[in-house]
Chain A
Amino acid sequence: MVEIIFIVPFITGLIAFFVPKEIGRPLLVITGAIHLLLSLLLWKNRPVAYFSDYFAVTPEGLLSLLVISLLFFLISIYTISYLKEIKIHAENIFTGFMLLFLSTMTMVTLSDHIMIMWIAIEATTLASAPLIYTHRSGASLEATWKYVLICSVGIAMALLGSVFVTLAMDIGHVDAPLSFSALTQVAKSLDPLWLKAGFVFILVGYGTKMGLAPMHTWLPDAHSEAPSPASALLSGVLLNCAYLGIFKTNKIMYAAGLNDFSSTILIVFGLMSILAAATFILKQNEYKRMLAYSSIENMGIIAVGTGIGGIAAYGAIICMIHHSLIKSSLFLSSGNILLGYGNRLISNTGDMVSRMPKTFIAFFSGFAGISGFPPFGIFIGELFIIVGAFRSGRYVTIGIFIAALCVIFAGFAHQVMKISFDDFDGTIQLKEKASMVWPQYILLLTSLIFCFYMPDTVYQTIVDAVTAVGGGLR
């Protein structure tokens, strides 16, 4: 039974609300471990869902699921040490919603029914809003308000889009279940006008959640105000979940022969996101916001890659996996920096290389990875996207793409250098414990290993996923 994998964290999440923190903290790690085990079993056996109308195991879902499991497990280990260092109000609420958040995100990766997908993505918003408000300050309140309002409105747009897809079925006289897999098979007979309208609304809706510009405004606020483990989850996996909704709709578009239409829109939104990130990252004075803008950039890269198709779509999936691994490690390291320097501003940090050497290694290699240095995976992914764009003759697109990436690299590097090597007079308030740096090292190491050695089953799953949107290594 596939559904067990999101039921387990749901139940433990509910339990976590009512137990003291001595039980809640281990519960987080234990659930993470069980979840990881279950998703590995799912990879191995690929069973059929019990409610097969609503849930299905798909290649793209499996990829996201594995990333979620691995990330959550490592983040939960970090969280235990993190919670010992800071004081937060009502810790049981924090752990409870972390687990519920995990449950809803898992549900997104497994859902096959259009409406269940929508409900699951909306549920991720509701489960993660209290996490952003953990610190109970005026600023975190503002971030939560923006997050809930903007994302709810966005998700409402996606609902409208989903309704339009059902309308496309009615007008095309198609009788099939309302699931992505069934619709992909009958895509040719769907009414193209309403399907296009549906796609646009779904892209805008889930794009809001994914952080595509110009609907990204909630993202830097939410990521910077949330406690670092929650930021790592938001950036590392929540954005992917929203992308999954777009990806699956794009599958229908491709099967219906409307991929020219969908690619153009994806590329335009993708480029806008990269450009928005390039504009704002240059004058960013908070490191967590800087990382958030880098997430917007990477979501843009993924959208552009998916839009271009072919080898670029393969590159987009590679980017997605590695972005999750590297960015979550960066957010965890930023948690250490915040605890160490007690300040969010870049100008109040410095000399990390000698003050916090272990965190420095994690943060700096994360920076190298996310900016697309070889040997990290983002380099390979971006290379595939660029090659794919040249193959399909999209020279203007790729010109803007490369130029914006250079600007972002310059801005990012400038700030990271300041944090790492500038003078700093104050004292560091954090002793670097092993459990607060090892999760980052493991995440980065996984990214590194995936570049040189990718298991055949993972490779095959990526190829299966991108074939459905006209991608592949050929």
Chain B
Amino acid sequence: MILDPVDTILTFVLLSVLFSFGSSRLSMLIKVVGFQGIVVSIVPFFVGYDMSIGGTIFTLATLLIRGIIIPMSIYIAIKRVAIHREVEPIIDYHASLLCGLGLIVAATYISQQLNIPAISHYTLLFPTAISILVTGMFLLMARRNAIAMVLGYIMMENGIYLIGTTFSVRARHIVEFGILLDVLAGVMIMAIILQNIKRTFDDVDTALLRTLKE
């Protein structure tokens, strides 16, 4: 079976998922998020049905924001703060990698059980989307570094974006628009909080945030 171009790109994304499980540096994680952002904004363009001017512009705008602006701004914003820092894992890297492999296998297995008409000829679309989504959640839970958590959140949104824009043709632009708005505003607010955390606690380790309990 010859792979579709979409599936070929998605293979790289799956590899990048494994990368993000195993990487200890924030800068690496930011690059992975940027790469995934670019891919998830391109894929709907190939899977999609309208090649209108509006659609193209929208795709380019998404690409710019997801793939370049957000990762770059995070990179710049934290450059002096913690860029060379470790992501402070709760679950260590080897165990994380194993989780990642298990996740990809599980996602592939599940996607074969479900029959979704819109994407039936893209073998890797569903497994990739689910993998990115769950990886994001994993990073949110298994890393203590606040920036790694924000990156996990963005990764999760990337996964949902991939599902939302390719699974259903309906109301696609409003989904795109909504998520874009959400990511932009959400990340902005998180960045502001991050700066304040840094200023107040002089670190971005969320283990410091533990005054409030019960």
Contact = CB atoms under 8 A, between A and B. Distances in A.
Nearest to A125: B186
A7 B12 CA distance: 45
Interface in A114-161: 115-116, 118-119, 122-123, 126, 129-130, 133, 136, 138-139, 141-146, 148-149, 152-153, 155-156, 159-160
A145 B140 contact: no
B77 to A, nearest CB: 16
A170 B116 CA distance: 9
B168 A167 contact: yes
A310 B164 CA distance: 35
A163 interface: yes
A167 to B, nearest CB: 5
A160 B153 contact: no
Interface string A194-234: 00000000000000000000000000110011000000000
A118 B167 CA distance: 18
A166 interface: yes
Nearest to A177: B171
Contacts of A144: 193
Interface string A251-263: 0000000000000
A166 B178 CA distance: 15
B178 A118 contact: yes
A280 interface: yes
A473 interface: no
A378 interface: no
A157 to B, nearest CB: 9
A221 B182 CA distance: 23
Interface in A81-128: 113, 115-116, 118-119, 122-123, 126
B169 interface: yes
Interface residues of B, number: 40
Contact of B168 (A152, A170, A284): A170
B38 to A, nearest CB: 20
A283 B174 CA distance: 46
Interface string B196-210: 110011000010011
A338 B178 CA distance: 39
Nearest to A159: B160
Nearest to B209: A142
Contacts of A153: 137, 140, 153, 156
A178 interface: yes
A159 B201 contact: no
Interface in B57-108: none
A171 interface: yes
Contacts of B54: none
B214 A220 contact: yes
A152 B193 contact: no
B60 to A, nearest CB: 22
Given A144-B193, A149-B149, A153-B137, A163 B175 contact: yes
Contacts of A280: 214
Contact of A167 (B116, B179, B182): B116
A155 B183 CA distance: 12
B140 A149 contact: yes
Contact of A145 (B146, B170, B178): B146
A358 B167 CA distance: 59
A239 interface: no
A126 B185 contact: yes
Nearest to A283: B214
Given A169-B168, A171-B117, 14 more contacts: A119-B178, A126-B186, A139-B211, A141-B197, A142-B211, A153-B140, A156-B160, A166-B171, A170-B167, A178-B174, A221-B212, A224-B212, A225-B212, A284-B214
Q: Which 10 A-B pairs have the closest CB atoms?
A: A142-B209, A166-B168, A221-B212, A163-B164, A178-B171, A115-B174, A119-B178, A166-B170, A139-B211, A126-B185
Interface of B: 116-118, 133, 137, 140, 146, 149, 153, 156-157, 160, 163-164, 167-171, 174-175, 178-179, 181-182, 185-186, 189-190, 193, 196-197, 200-201, 206, 209-212, 214
27 contacts: A115-B171, A119-B181, A122-B178, A123-B185, A139-B211, A141-B193, A141-B196, A141-B209, A145-B146, A145-B206, A148-B186, A148-B190, A148-B193, A149-B190, A153-B137, A155-B182, A159-B182, A160-B133, A160-B163, A163-B160, A163-B163, A163-B167, A163-B175, A166-B171, A170-B170, A178-B174, A283-B214
